[in-house]
Protein backbone atom coordinates (compact mmCIF):
# COMPACT_ATOMS: atom_id res chain seq x y z
CA UNK A 1 0.00 0.00 0.00
CA UNK A 2 1.34 3.48 -0.75
CA UNK A 3 2.31 5.59 2.24
CA UNK A 4 -0.57 8.08 1.91
CA UNK A 5 -3.19 5.28 1.75
CA UNK A 6 -1.60 3.50 4.66
CA UNK A 7 -1.77 6.62 6.85
CA UNK A 8 -5.37 7.19 5.77
CA UNK A 9 -6.28 3.59 6.66
CA UNK A 10 -4.65 4.14 10.04
CA UNK A 11 -6.63 7.34 10.70
CA UNK A 12 -9.86 5.60 9.55
CA UNK A 13 -9.30 2.49 11.67
CA UNK A 14 -8.80 4.71 14.75
CA UNK A 15 -12.26 6.19 13.97
CA UNK A 16 -13.75 2.67 13.91
CA UNK A 17 -11.80 1.75 17.09
CA UNK A 18 -10.64 -1.27 15.13
CA UNK A 19 -7.73 -2.17 17.35
CA UNK A 20 -6.39 -5.04 15.26
CA UNK A 21 -6.44 -2.96 12.08
CA UNK A 22 -4.70 -0.06 13.85
CA UNK A 23 -2.01 -2.45 15.11
CA UNK A 24 -1.72 -4.06 11.68
CA UNK A 25 -1.42 -0.70 9.89
CA UNK A 26 1.27 0.47 12.30
CA UNK A 27 3.26 -2.74 11.78
CA UNK A 28 2.86 -2.47 8.01
CA UNK A 29 3.98 1.17 8.05
CA UNK A 30 7.08 0.26 10.05
CA UNK A 31 7.87 -2.61 7.68
CA UNK A 32 7.49 -0.31 4.70
CA UNK A 33 9.87 2.19 6.25
CA UNK A 34 7.39 5.03 6.78
CA UNK A 35 9.17 7.76 8.77
CA UNK A 36 8.33 7.55 12.48
CA UNK A 37 7.61 11.30 12.53
CA UNK A 38 4.93 10.88 9.84
CA UNK A 39 3.51 7.78 11.49
CA UNK A 40 3.12 9.64 14.79
CA UNK A 41 1.98 13.04 13.44
CA UNK A 42 -0.05 12.11 10.36
CA UNK A 43 -1.21 8.69 11.59
CA UNK A 44 -1.72 8.20 15.31
CA UNK A 45 -2.05 11.85 16.39
CA UNK A 46 -4.20 12.82 13.40
CA UNK A 47 -6.48 9.84 14.04
CA UNK A 48 -7.01 10.68 17.69
CA UNK A 49 -7.56 14.38 16.95
CA UNK A 50 -10.20 13.48 14.35
CA UNK A 51 -11.92 11.23 16.89
CA UNK A 52 -11.83 14.19 19.29
CA UNK A 53 -13.53 16.44 16.70
CA UNK A 54 -16.29 13.85 16.30
CA UNK A 55 -16.58 13.73 20.11
CA UNK A 56 -17.08 17.51 20.08
CA UNK A 57 -19.87 17.13 17.50
CA UNK A 58 -21.54 14.47 19.67
CA UNK A 59 -20.91 11.71 17.11
CA UNK A 60 -18.89 9.59 19.54
CA UNK A 61 -19.03 9.43 23.32
CA UNK A 62 -16.51 9.51 26.17
CA UNK A 63 -15.94 5.71 26.47
CA UNK A 64 -15.17 5.58 22.73
CA UNK A 65 -12.78 8.51 22.99
CA UNK A 66 -11.03 6.78 25.88
CA UNK A 67 -10.76 3.54 23.92
CA UNK A 68 -9.26 5.47 20.98
CA UNK A 69 -6.71 7.09 23.29
CA UNK A 70 -5.84 3.69 24.73
CA UNK A 71 -5.29 2.13 21.28
CA UNK A 72 -3.04 5.05 20.29
CA UNK A 73 -1.06 4.83 23.56
CA UNK A 74 -0.44 1.09 23.09
CA UNK A 75 0.86 1.65 19.60
CA UNK A 76 3.14 4.44 20.79
CA UNK A 77 4.71 1.94 23.19
CA UNK A 78 5.23 -0.43 20.27
CA UNK A 79 6.76 2.38 18.19
CA UNK A 80 9.21 3.25 20.95
CA UNK A 81 11.17 0.09 20.22
CA UNK A 82 11.52 1.17 16.58
CA UNK A 83 12.67 4.73 17.08
CA UNK A 84 16.35 4.79 16.30
CA UNK A 85 18.18 5.07 19.58
CA UNK A 86 20.70 7.84 19.63
CA UNK A 87 24.20 6.53 20.22
CA UNK A 88 25.22 9.53 22.30
CA UNK A 89 25.17 8.61 26.00
CA UNK A 90 22.95 11.44 27.17
CA UNK A 91 22.21 14.76 25.57
CA UNK A 92 20.89 16.26 28.77
CA UNK A 93 18.18 15.94 31.38
CA UNK A 94 14.59 16.50 30.33
CA UNK A 95 11.70 16.58 32.77
CA UNK A 96 8.03 16.65 31.79
CA UNK A 97 4.62 16.58 33.41
CA UNK A 98 0.99 17.47 32.81
CA UNK A 99 0.04 20.40 35.05
CA UNK A 100 -2.36 20.25 38.01
CA UNK A 101 -6.02 19.30 37.45
CA UNK A 102 -5.29 17.96 33.98
CA UNK A 103 -5.23 14.23 33.25
CA UNK A 104 -4.45 14.27 29.50
CA UNK A 105 -1.30 12.28 28.89
CA UNK A 106 -1.25 10.89 25.35
CA UNK A 107 0.69 13.87 23.98
CA UNK A 108 2.96 14.13 27.03
CA UNK A 109 3.85 10.45 26.71
CA UNK A 110 4.74 10.91 23.04
CA UNK A 111 7.02 13.82 23.94
CA UNK A 112 8.68 11.77 26.71
CA UNK A 113 9.16 8.83 24.33
CA UNK A 114 10.64 10.97 21.57
CA UNK A 115 13.08 12.70 23.96
CA UNK A 116 14.10 9.43 25.56
CA UNK A 117 14.67 7.80 22.18
CA UNK A 118 16.73 10.82 21.12
CA UNK A 119 19.23 10.36 23.92
CA UNK A 120 17.82 12.48 26.76
CA UNK A 121 17.58 11.27 30.33
CA UNK A 122 13.84 11.70 30.87
CA UNK A 123 11.95 12.13 34.13
CA UNK A 124 8.22 11.86 33.54
CA UNK A 125 6.31 13.25 36.51
CA UNK A 126 2.97 12.00 35.17
CA UNK A 127 -0.41 13.77 35.13
CA UNK A 128 -2.10 16.25 37.46
CA UNK A 129 1.30 17.30 38.80
CA UNK A 130 1.13 19.92 41.53
CA UNK A 131 3.26 23.04 41.37
CA UNK A 132 4.99 21.95 44.59
CA UNK A 133 5.99 18.66 42.95
CA UNK A 134 7.39 20.43 39.89
CA UNK A 135 9.48 22.70 42.14
CA UNK A 136 10.69 19.85 44.38
CA UNK A 137 11.60 17.61 41.43
CA UNK A 138 13.45 20.37 39.57
CA UNK A 139 15.46 21.02 42.75
CA UNK A 140 16.21 17.33 43.13
CA UNK A 141 16.98 16.29 39.54
CA UNK A 142 18.27 19.58 38.09
CA UNK A 143 17.05 19.08 34.50
CA UNK A 144 18.23 21.50 31.79
CA UNK A 145 14.83 21.42 30.12
CA UNK A 146 11.36 21.24 31.64
CA UNK A 147 8.27 20.50 29.52
CA UNK A 148 4.85 21.57 30.78
CA UNK A 149 1.86 19.97 29.10
CA UNK A 150 -1.71 21.23 29.39
CA UNK A 151 -4.73 20.36 27.26
CA UNK A 152 -7.40 22.47 28.93
CA UNK A 153 -7.97 26.20 28.84
CA UNK A 154 -8.81 25.89 32.53
CA UNK A 155 -5.43 24.32 33.38
CA UNK A 156 -3.08 26.15 31.01
CA UNK A 157 -2.85 28.93 33.62
CA UNK A 158 -1.05 26.39 35.81
CA UNK A 159 1.83 26.52 33.34
CA UNK A 160 2.24 30.15 34.37
CA UNK A 161 1.89 29.24 38.07
CA UNK A 162 4.69 26.65 37.79
CA UNK A 163 6.98 29.10 35.96
CA UNK A 164 6.37 31.78 38.59
CA UNK A 165 7.02 29.32 41.42
CA UNK A 166 10.30 28.20 39.84
CA UNK A 167 11.32 31.82 39.40
CA UNK A 168 10.49 32.61 43.03
CA UNK A 169 12.69 29.69 44.13
CA UNK A 170 15.57 30.96 41.98
CA UNK A 171 15.45 27.83 39.81
CA UNK A 172 15.01 29.48 36.43
CA UNK A 173 18.63 30.43 35.78
CA UNK A 174 19.83 27.10 34.41
CA UNK A 175 16.46 25.83 33.24
CA UNK A 176 14.71 26.22 29.89
CA UNK A 177 10.96 25.73 29.90
CA UNK A 178 8.94 24.52 26.90
CA UNK A 179 5.16 24.64 26.99
CA UNK A 180 2.88 22.50 24.83
CA UNK A 181 -0.65 21.18 24.43
CA UNK A 182 -3.69 22.22 22.40
CA UNK A 183 -4.45 25.63 24.00
CA UNK A 184 -0.81 26.83 24.12
CA UNK A 185 0.74 29.02 21.42
CA UNK A 186 3.90 31.05 20.82
CA UNK A 187 2.10 34.15 22.14
CA UNK A 188 1.07 32.29 25.29
CA UNK A 189 4.63 31.07 25.84
CA UNK A 190 5.89 34.63 25.59
CA UNK A 191 3.18 35.97 27.86
CA UNK A 192 3.95 33.55 30.68
CA UNK A 193 7.72 33.88 30.26
CA UNK A 194 8.33 30.33 29.02
CA UNK A 195 11.40 29.87 26.82
CA UNK A 196 9.55 28.20 23.97
CA UNK A 197 6.30 26.76 22.66
CA UNK A 198 6.26 23.50 20.73
CA UNK A 199 3.34 22.29 18.64
CA UNK A 200 4.48 18.67 18.69
CA UNK A 201 7.10 16.36 20.13
CA UNK A 202 9.56 16.81 17.30
CA UNK A 203 9.48 20.60 17.33
CA UNK A 204 9.96 20.33 21.11
CA UNK A 205 13.07 18.33 20.44
CA UNK A 206 14.33 20.98 17.99
CA UNK A 207 13.76 23.71 20.60
CA UNK A 208 15.65 21.68 23.22
CA UNK A 209 18.52 21.19 20.83
CA UNK A 210 18.70 24.94 20.19
CA UNK A 211 19.01 25.54 23.93
CA UNK A 212 21.68 22.93 24.47
CA UNK A 213 23.59 23.89 21.34
C1 LIG B 1 -8.20 12.08 24.19
C2 LIG B 1 -8.86 13.23 24.93
C3 LIG B 1 -9.32 12.99 26.22
C4 LIG B 1 -9.07 11.68 26.96
C5 LIG B 1 -7.65 11.73 27.55
C6 LIG B 1 -7.00 10.35 27.66
C7 LIG B 1 -5.56 10.46 28.06
N8 LIG B 1 -5.07 9.37 28.63
O9 LIG B 1 -4.89 11.46 27.86
C10 LIG B 1 -10.18 11.73 28.06
C11 LIG B 1 -11.42 11.11 27.47
C12 LIG B 1 -9.85 11.08 29.40
C13 LIG B 1 -10.40 13.25 28.16
C14 LIG B 1 -10.96 13.87 29.27
C15 LIG B 1 -11.33 15.20 29.29
N16 LIG B 1 -11.28 16.08 28.28
CO17 LIG B 1 -10.28 15.75 26.69
N18 LIG B 1 -9.60 15.53 24.91
C19 LIG B 1 -9.02 14.51 24.31
C20 LIG B 1 -8.70 14.95 22.84
C21 LIG B 1 -9.79 14.39 21.94
C22 LIG B 1 -7.37 14.49 22.29
C23 LIG B 1 -6.16 14.80 23.15
C24 LIG B 1 -5.03 13.95 22.66
O25 LIG B 1 -4.67 12.96 23.28
N26 LIG B 1 -4.51 14.28 21.46
C27 LIG B 1 -3.46 13.51 20.78
C28 LIG B 1 -2.11 13.96 21.30
C29 LIG B 1 -1.01 13.15 20.61
O30 LIG B 1 -1.96 15.31 20.95
P31 LIG B 1 -1.71 16.45 22.02
O32 LIG B 1 -2.22 16.05 23.35
O33 LIG B 1 -2.12 17.73 21.46
O34 LIG B 1 -0.10 16.44 22.18
C35 LIG B 1 0.79 16.82 21.13
C36 LIG B 1 1.07 18.33 21.10
O37 LIG B 1 0.05 19.14 21.64
C38 LIG B 1 2.37 18.48 21.80
N39 LIG B 1 2.43 18.61 23.25
C40 LIG B 1 1.54 18.40 24.21
N41 LIG B 1 2.05 18.65 25.41
C42 LIG B 1 3.35 19.01 25.21
C43 LIG B 1 4.35 19.38 26.10
C44 LIG B 1 5.60 19.70 25.61
C45 LIG B 1 6.69 20.05 26.57
C46 LIG B 1 5.86 19.66 24.22
C47 LIG B 1 7.22 19.93 23.70
C48 LIG B 1 4.84 19.31 23.32
C49 LIG B 1 3.60 19.00 23.83
O50 LIG B 1 3.06 17.29 21.44
C51 LIG B 1 2.13 16.19 21.49
C52 LIG B 1 2.60 15.12 20.58
O53 LIG B 1 2.90 15.57 19.29
C54 LIG B 1 -8.75 16.51 22.96
C55 LIG B 1 -9.03 17.25 21.65
C56 LIG B 1 -7.84 18.01 21.12
N57 LIG B 1 -8.07 18.67 20.01
O58 LIG B 1 -6.77 18.02 21.68
C59 LIG B 1 -9.82 16.68 24.03
C60 LIG B 1 -9.86 17.96 24.85
C61 LIG B 1 -8.47 18.44 25.22
N62 LIG B 1 -10.59 17.54 26.13
C63 LIG B 1 -11.40 18.43 26.51
C64 LIG B 1 -12.20 18.29 27.68
C65 LIG B 1 -13.18 19.39 27.96
C66 LIG B 1 -12.05 17.18 28.53
C67 LIG B 1 -12.81 16.92 29.83
C68 LIG B 1 -12.99 18.12 30.75
C69 LIG B 1 -14.14 16.27 29.41
C70 LIG B 1 -15.18 16.13 30.45
N71 LIG B 1 -16.21 16.89 30.23
O72 LIG B 1 -15.01 15.36 31.39
C73 LIG B 1 -11.94 15.84 30.49
C74 LIG B 1 -10.82 16.50 31.33
C75 LIG B 1 -10.42 15.77 32.52
C76 LIG B 1 -9.23 16.46 33.16
N77 LIG B 1 -9.37 16.96 34.35
O78 LIG B 1 -8.15 16.56 32.56
C79 LIG B 1 -11.41 19.68 25.63
C80 LIG B 1 -10.71 20.89 26.23
C81 LIG B 1 -11.49 22.15 25.93
C82 LIG B 1 -10.85 23.34 26.54
N83 LIG B 1 -11.02 24.41 25.86
O84 LIG B 1 -10.25 23.34 27.55
C85 LIG B 1 -10.79 19.13 24.30
C86 LIG B 1 -10.02 20.18 23.49
C87 LIG B 1 -11.97 18.55 23.47
C88 LIG B 1 -13.08 19.58 23.24
N89 LIG B 1 -12.91 20.53 22.36
O90 LIG B 1 -14.08 19.50 23.88
N91 LIG B 1 -10.01 13.88 27.01
SS (HEC) of the chain: CCHHHHHHHHHHHHHCCCHHHHHHHHHHHHHCCCCHHHHHHHHHHHHHHHHHHHHHCCCCCHHHHHHHHHHHHHHHHHHHCCCCCCCCCCCEEEEEEEECCCCCCHHHHHHHHHHHHCCEEEEECCCCECHHHHHHHHHHHCCCEEEEECCCCCCCHHHHHHHHHHHHCCCCCCCEEEEECCCCCHHHHHHCCCCEECCCHHHHHHHHHHHHC
pLDDT at 194: 98
pTM higher than 0.75, yes or no? yes
Residue 80 has pLDDT above 90, yes or no: no
Nearest atom within ligand 1 for CA of residue 156: 84
Q: Which residue minimizes the CA distance to atom 84 of ligand 1? A: 152
Is 86 inside any structural domain? no
* Same-domain check for residues 111 and 30: no
Question: Looking at per-residue confidence, does 89 or 49 come out higher?
Answer: 49
What's the total number of domains in the chain?
2
pLDDT at 26: 95
Is 126 inside any structural domain? yes
* Same-domain check for residues 110 and 197: yes
Range of the domain at 64: 3-80
Domain boundary among 18, 47, 80: 80
What is the whole-number distance in angstroms between the Cα of residue 200 and the centre of ligand 1? 13
What is the whole-number distance in angstroms between the Cα of residue 202 and the centre of ligand 1? 18
What is the whole-number distance in angstroms between the Cα of residue 116 and the centre of ligand 1? 22
* Same-domain check for residues 70 and 151: no
What is the whole-number distance in angstroms between the Cα of residue 170 and the centre of ligand 1? 31
Q: Ligand 1 pocket, 71 CB below 6 A?
A: no
pLDDT at 88: 47
Amino acid sequence: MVEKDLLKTLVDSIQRLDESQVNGSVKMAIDQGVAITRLINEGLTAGLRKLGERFERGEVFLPELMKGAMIVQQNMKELETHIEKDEIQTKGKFMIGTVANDIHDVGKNIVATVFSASGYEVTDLGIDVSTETFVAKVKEKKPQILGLSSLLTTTMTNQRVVIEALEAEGLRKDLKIIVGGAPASPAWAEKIDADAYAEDAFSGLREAEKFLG
